[in-house]
Amino acid sequence: MTGHIPARVANTLPQHSGGAGSDVVLELGDLGPWRPRLVATDLDGTLLTSQGTVSERTRAAMDASWAAGVPVVGVTGRGPRLLDSVRTTLGGRGVAVLAQGGFVVDLDRDEVLRTVGLPRDEAQAVIEAIEGVTGELVLAVEDAATQSEALSPLRVQHGFEWPYPEPADLLPRDQVLPAGPVLKVFLRSETLGQDDLLRLARSVTDPSAAEVTHAGLGFIEVLPPGITKGSGLAVALERFGVPMSDVLVFGDMPNDLPMIHAVNDAGGRSVAVANAHPAVLAAATGRTGGHDADGVARYLEALA
């Protein structure tokens, strides 16, 4: 039996519940003479409040950055079906990196710069390999053939418990994978936490076959090989002609690590919000307040 959950929210991003540190305010002090030529930021859990909104203070800080000639690029795991809400969040300007780097769009020109899918048989092989070490998992899929449509339904297995108020088609397990490529596969375990699930999945997944990550939402994500926020950000930087060394990046979850590492390696600056995952707190070169305390905005203000 199949079912359908209709859309309830059209122009806001899904809410991200505030975690430990989300309302922490940090004294930033002197941030030194370095200044970015471009700001890249994760959205949920980093730039946005727990209600999935842009606060007035954050909006003002983003506008001030643009006015100073420093573009703000949003880098998110949200799929292209949520492009309208991402566009609204970013004020309709610049470049948006979606689907963990698999879908990149120039908002000013309404031009897609990158879209990458994982063929069905390759996705199936990765799922089977992961289940070989984790046991049976519950899955959902972003179908590459439909996800460019606003609020297009996800393909979700019965029992997945998709957490967001957006449309989803509930399907039996053998019908979840579409005939064509997928942008992303979500895998949830009934017994394993997301960190343990990710560790096991990576132990059996060759990076040449797929990327595996998680965004702190209780499940892991399987993506086409080479698709990360780091590679997606690189596409955005080409459009602006800015090197990675001149980027200031903000993040909170393991899916942000590829762009954090890329910026660090190039000599740029990475900042974790106070509510970030321990791996992100360890990797980032700086820290700011939580996402419910306008941490990104406070840091940008301190640089002004």
pLDDT in tens, 56-101: 999 999 999 999 999 999 999 999 988 999 999 999 999 999 999 9
Task: Give the 3-state secondary structure of residue 206.
Answer: coil
Checking if the pLDDT of 236 tops 50, the result is: yes
Same fold, 38-115+228-303 and 120-223: no
Average pLDDT of 225-235? 98
Distance between CA atoms of 225 and 273, rounded to whole angstroms?
A: 28
The confidence score (pLDDT) of residue 9 equals 36
- Domain edges within the chain: 38-115+228-303, 120-223
Q: For the chain, where are the E strands, in sequence order?
A: 3-5, 38-41, 72-75, 95-98, 103-106, 111-115, 138-143, 154-157, 168-171, 182-188, 211-214, 220-223, 247-251, 269-273, 286-288
Checking if the pLDDT of 10 tops 60, the result is: no
Comparing C-alpha atoms, which of 141, 161, 164 is closest to residue 223? Answer: 141
**Percent over 70 (pLDDT), the chain:** 94
Average pLDDT of 156-179? 89
Distance between CA atoms of 31 and 10, rounded to whole angstroms?
A: 39
**Structure-token match 């031009």, residue found:** 111
CATH assignment, 120-223: 3.30.1240.10
The confidence score (pLDDT) of residue 173 equals 95
Contact 259, 228 (CB under 8 A): yes
Phi, psi of 147, rounded to the nearest 5 degrees: -75, -10
Checking if the pLDDT of 113 tops 80, the result is: yes
CATH assignment, 38-115+228-303: 3.40.50.1000
Checking if the pLDDT of 8 tops 80, the result is: no
Average pLDDT of 124-137? 98
Checking if the pLDDT of 16 tops 80, the result is: no
Helix, strand, coil percent values for the chain (each to nearest 5): 35, 20, 45
Whether this model's pTM surpasses 0.75 = yes
In which region does residue 248 sit, left (phi positive, over 0), alpha (psi from -120 to 50) or beta (all else)? Answer: beta
pLDDT in tens, 132-150: 999 999 999 999 988 777 7
**Structure-token match 């707190």, residue found:** 281
The confidence score (pLDDT) of residue 146 equals 85
Distance between CA atoms of 228 and 259, rounded to whole angstroms?
A: 8
